[in-house]
Amino acid sequence: MVEPVQAKSKAEMQANKRVKESGGIVEIVTIIVQALLIALVVRTFLFQPFNIPSGSLIPTLEVGDYLFVSKYTYGYSRYSFPWGPNLFSGRVLGSPPKRGDIAVFKWPKDTSIDYIKRVIGLPGDKIRVAEGRLFINGAIVPRRQIGSYRTQDASGKEVEAPYYEETLPGSDPAHPEVGTVTHRIIQIDGDSGYYDNWPRGDDPNKSYEVPPGEFLMMGDNRDNSLDSRNWGPVPFENLVGRAEIIFFSIKTVPGQGEETEPAWQFWRWPWTVRWNRLFQPVR
């Protein structure tokens, strides 16, 4: 009578072991699925990571910067969701961007592509760039030179560009002196091949009137930026979110233009990461 009991006990032990093993696998899969769902919710409704691939926002943002974009600031549109499903039109919740915000948006010419620029023109504004100066609603935007900035022009040539501090008027047209935004820009000489960002032969003094529900976006690297001056204003619906903070920054490869050091080579981080840029707010 003892042997059958022992055999049964061994069988039960093996069965229990299999149950525990299968239960462990199910638990691991459940944890992974939950983590993915949480990440999807955070990315869709709260914050989305974004990296800077070009120098159009130098000196504010540099190639190789990685930042978080708040999704809730401007509310939600179809482009707040992965793949931009046509669930509804317009936006829900949130509020329109303010002048001076740095915003990520879907490029009007191809909404599969993300762009990041600064909000310069609000609905109804008249914007003009002439001889390197920005005019908003007929008034010249004040600026002061604070030094020089070493960068590349449109051809990739190293140049020393004037470095300015510019003060944008507030978003309320009745009180433009309230809520002003001061930021920094660089301006490359027109001989680099671009004049006020217009290829030679086009009108460098063209004015832009921003339509209702749209925004005029520009880069801080004024003469080396493809922006609304080239492809028009951006519909409110296309906005993805507002740039908030830099969480990582990797240097570019010397002599290779906008090519960055491999971020995955963590053992090289001590000399390839721009440590002074980490956790800097985007303004």
DSSP-derived 3-state class of residue 155: coil
56 is catalytic: yes
pLDDT at 104: 96
Both structure tokens of 115:
């762009």
Question: Which is more confident, 158 or 98?
Answer: 98
pTM: 0.81
At residue 13, the pLDDT reads 62
Count of beta carbons in the 10 Å neighbourhood of residue 185: 27
Judged against a pLDDT cut of 50, whether residue 31 lies above it is answered with yes
Active site residue 117: yes
- Annotated catalytic residue, options 71, 117, 171, 228: 117
Q: What amino acid occupies position 151? A: T
Asked if the 46-277 domain carries CATH number 2.10.109.10, the reply is yes
Q: Which residue has the higher pLDDT, 90 or 65?
A: 65
The catalytic residue among 56, 77, 80, 225 is: 56
Q: Maximum Cα–Cα distance for the chain, whole Å?
A: 103
Let me know if 84 is exposed, middle or buried by CB neighbors in 10 A (0-12, 13-18, 19+): middle
